Chain A
Amino acid sequence: MTTCPRCDSTEAQMVAESPVKGAWTVYSCPVCFYTWRSTEDEKFTDPAKYEPAFKVRQEDIPNATVVPAIAQRIK
């Protein structure tokens, strides 16, 4: 578990390691679905340095616009 640079959740997990051993690791956040690689600039990997305009607040996620609307079940 690691901290998501975008939404600051602490539930991000490793999803892949480089085929060439030790080159990089890919992490993914199950809360905001941000995905990043360990070799990216710290602007994209460090929660304190992630661009504020693109930060995601966890409490806003359930209220995000739904596209397309969920269709009503018709029997």
Chain B
Amino acid sequence: MKYIDEFQDPELARRLLDDIHATATRPWALMEVCGGQTHTIIRHGIDQLLPDTVELIHGPGCPVCVTPLEVIDKALEIAARPDVIFCSFGDMLRVPGTDRDLFRVRSEGGDVRVVYSPLDALKIARQNPDREVVFFGIGFETTAPPNAMTVYQARKHRIPNFSLLVSHVRVPPAIEAIMTSPSCRVQAFLAAGHVCSVMGMDEYPALAERFRVPIVVTGFEPLDLLEGIRRTVRQLERGEHTVDNAYPRAVRAGGNPAARAMLDDVFEVTDRAWRGIGTIPDSGWRLSARYRDFDAEHRFSVENIATREPAACRSGEVLQGQIKPHQCEAFGTTCTPRTPLGATMVSSEGACAAYYLYRRLGVTPTKLEASPVA
């Protein structure tokens, strides 16, 4: 247990782990939905501290990773236009499109800017009335309310040169897709805490009941994860399948009502393609009819871009928890953070990047020579 000293409260971590070890009597497979949680788990070696019988399967909750290739290509085409200022969060810069990324577009003269908040992009639009300002609106239920508010403000203050390239995704339909997949091994979910800070827990009891899986809302720090895992294993051992909140300091049952109301106004539910996985019904949001004028796809006529994923990249299987990153042949050889084949190797929340960063010496000793330090 070499990592346990790094825990904020090693004594509490030890007690939680002891409880998990004492409770688990049979093999269980838990999926952590969120990429932020995957990052913490791998960084702190939490999976290695658990009993051998408790397996963590890494889920599809990395927003950068699941943004489909065709949306990336649309972003690249728009960003390369001379009349456009293209604004994005920093983690999208190196996500590979079909033949380049945003970082490359910028080096070729595109005006690509990184913002901390979508409201910063709106400010840029106000300051540059003669340019088109596009914000790359990706993310789960946590990120959708900020983007919704920004479009709401653009409409309210009549800022015609602002638009949003939207690729928002929702967690509950992804859980449904995972549970109905024939190869599914998942027996319980650690639900993403900050998604629930916004959405609350209303959407989960029906899923827990239908698929007979415990769903435990879990935070992002090492101790939060241990507590979420502990509560999940307890339910599994008792044959229970309820929705439980192990992150009450940030999650209220009803979520954030103001944010939910804004989501209902600005967005409408739509089918959405997930990179490497395919289309999941009702799994995303697009702008609702009254905000359609602010949709960058329509404004720049990029609706018809079609793409194909590189065959060597198995990120779709990684995102569905069917393989671990190091079981992909490209991992650490042809695919590294410097030369990523798929988005899971780019984002700090991507499972492949987390394994590369913290595990490659352990999981791929034979490939070290072919994998120089990035």
A and B: partners?
A: no
Task: List residues of chain B with CB under 8 Å of any chain A CB.
Answer: none
Task: List residues of chain A with CB under 8 Å of any chain B CB.
Answer: none
